[in-house]
Amino acid sequence: MERLTGGALDERLREFLAEDAGSRDVTTETTVSEDARALGEVVAKSACVLSGLDVARRVFELTDPELGWASEVLAGAPVAAGARLAQLAGRARAMLTAERVALNLLQRMSGIATTTRRYVDAVAGTPCRILDTRKTAPGLRPFDRQAVRDGGGSNHRYDLSAMVLIKDNHRRLAGGVAAAVAAARAGAPPGMAIEVEVETADELEAAAAARVDWILIDNQKPETVARWCRIVRARPGAPKIEASGGITLERARAYAEAGADAVSVGALTHSVAAADISLEITPA
């Protein structure tokens, strides 16, 4: 599912809340009066690109349907350290019980959006797009992908059913690029995009000759990507080129200038540096 909304979102968030609360929030229930009211402020402790505030709000609303919420900060907006992101008013126990799940998602999503924006800025002025990968934490993919979009990046395939992407193990098991592409065309839904990962000049030539939609150049230097882009684009109906494989922020622009149509970065989601965001609660 590309984006969780409505009942599907609520179901996932309730699972997260149940995981965190266990049988009961023993600390809150023993130290805070059942009828206590509280005010809260969500505060950015570090500069970041905001993502997930709507998800955090829904977490709080699931524990307190009468929650008061106010915010004027939009997803994708850069915020400074010290910025007030939202104001809450409601039942104190519910606010405390929801706090960690809400902040975990908000911090993770804002961290992903912040890193994505840095990569997008690094290739600014070129046609190259920044793509995510399937290297996401199980259960969090819809949230991670939304964060990439909020950071200005683009999403690659959502799951294994979305397109054909022939990688090294597929090539070996199928008997090479040409055999793998032929088998995919015979068995995949008509019109489905086919992408082939290549690591050698021979594989590049085979993928280009097979007239696939995308060629993924993996683990090559920018100079090699530039040379291979010229080779591929000398053919009529040339496929799009994606570059991948340990591409750091410092090297992303070199791949964009080498001619890659897209650069995919697993680190956007598999090595998240969470934004520092907190909830400050006071008695109402």
Indicate which residues carry an active-site annotation: 100, 135, 167, 197, 218
* CA pseudo-torsion sign 134, 213, 2, 130: positive
Give the relative orientation of helices 222-233 and 201-209 as an angle to the nearest 10 degrees: 30
**Calpha distance 239→250 (Å, rounded):** 26
User: What backbone torsions phi and psi does residue 121 show, to the nearest 5 degrees?
Assistant: -65, -35
How large is the C-alpha radius of gyration of the chain?
A: 23
Question: What tokens were used for 17?
Answer: 């809340």
262: left (phi over 0), alpha (psi -120 to 50) or beta: beta
- Give the residue from 216, 221, 249, 232 showing the smallest Cα distance to 116: 249
Name the one residue in this structure whose structure tokens are 């622009």. Answer: 253
- Would you say 219 and 194 are in contact if contact means Cβ atoms under 8 Å apart? no
Compute φ and ψ for 75, nearest 5 degrees.
Answer: -60, 140
Backbone phi, psi, residue 60, to 5°: -65, -40
The secondary structure of 58-99, three-state, reads HHHHHHCCCCEEECCCCCCCEECCCCEEEEEEEEHHHHHHHH
Q: What does the alpha-carbon distance between residue 266 and residue 133 come to, in Å, rounded to a whole number?
A: 5
Whether 219 and 246 have beta carbons less than 8 Å apart is answered as yes
Residue type, 256: A
